[in-house]
Structure 1
Amino acid sequence: MRLLATWKEKSMAAGETVAVWHVHGREAAMSFDEFVALAQAGEIERLHVESAGPEAFQYRAFTGAEGICLLDEDGGPLQEKCFGHARQRLRCAGDLTEIPLFLIQYVHRREGATADGPQLAHRTPFSVR
């Protein structure tokens, strides 16, 4: 199943490439290259690099309130072993200076009745410079 980025329909008339968001599990997703193209076109509001556990950092781009998971070449979530690798990938991607970047860290509660999903612990802005 694929979702077209309807907010990019205006670009179809100009002959530009239209991003395709894939459904990955229950959320929209796109490749890193699609993210870079949209970011450089001003279509991405912010990017989160989320700590998904020890040695696991994943990317989530936002267009409004919707979070879009970035995928690797195999169709799984794009993941880095450390925050430094994530910064390096973004640095090599070209000019992303206009997009707010945030390191997101969650805390997982595992206490009986309060065993909710992950809760936001830190949201720290960062730069790739």
Structure 2
Amino acid sequence: MKFSKFVQLARDGQISELHIESVTSQSFHFRAVAEGYAVALRDEQGRQISDRSLGHAKQRLRNVRGLEKLPLYLVQQRSGSIMVGNTAYSTSHKTPLTLDASPLSVAIGVVGETVGTADAQATL
């Protein structure tokens, strides 16, 4: 599905959720879920959309009005599989996301404050 069509359907309430899939540490794809089916999002040339980081993927979505309330998830493949009988199934982990610019700073409520001991300090 082309990204422009996805945006139109999402604004019309026809997309139930959006997955940002971690393919590798530097490759994130999008998959829209509607009516129980998952469809990869593509650019206007028909290529699957791929961003270099989760931050870039979220920024792409932040730039589009009307997606703020769409349920968003990070989907990561687990590094193993589950054996059931003679069949192996790959597993994935689905984590809810928001489009907030900095979830860590929002969660802890401080930015620029030094934390830690004298030996090991970090600035948030």
User: Any idea what SS the aligned residue of 1:97 has?
Assistant: coil
SS at match of 1:109: strand
- The code of the aligned residue for 2:45 comes to D
Residue type of the partner of 2:74?
L
Cα distance in 2 for partners of 1:58, 1:81 equals: 9
CA distance in 2, matches of 1:117, 1:108: 12
- 1:18-97 aligned at under 5 Å gives the runs 30-97=1-68
Cα RMSD for the two superposed structures: 1.9
Q: Aligned residues, how many?
A: 96
Report the TM-score, using the length of structure 1 for normalisation.
0.67
Give runs of ≥4 in structure 1 deviating > 2 Å: 114-118
Q: Quick check: 1:109–1:116 contact (8 Å CA) kept in 2?
A: no
Q: TM-score, normalised by structure 2?
A: 0.70
User: Where does residue 119 of structure 1 map in the other structure?
Assistant: 91
Q: Percent identity?
A: 35
Give the secondary structure class of the aligned counterpart of 1:84: helix
Q: Which has the larger radius of gyration?
A: 2
CA distance in 1, matches of 2:55, 2:43: 18
From 101, 112, 123, the equivalent of 2:72 is 101
Structure 2: 5+ residue runs without aligned partners?
101-124
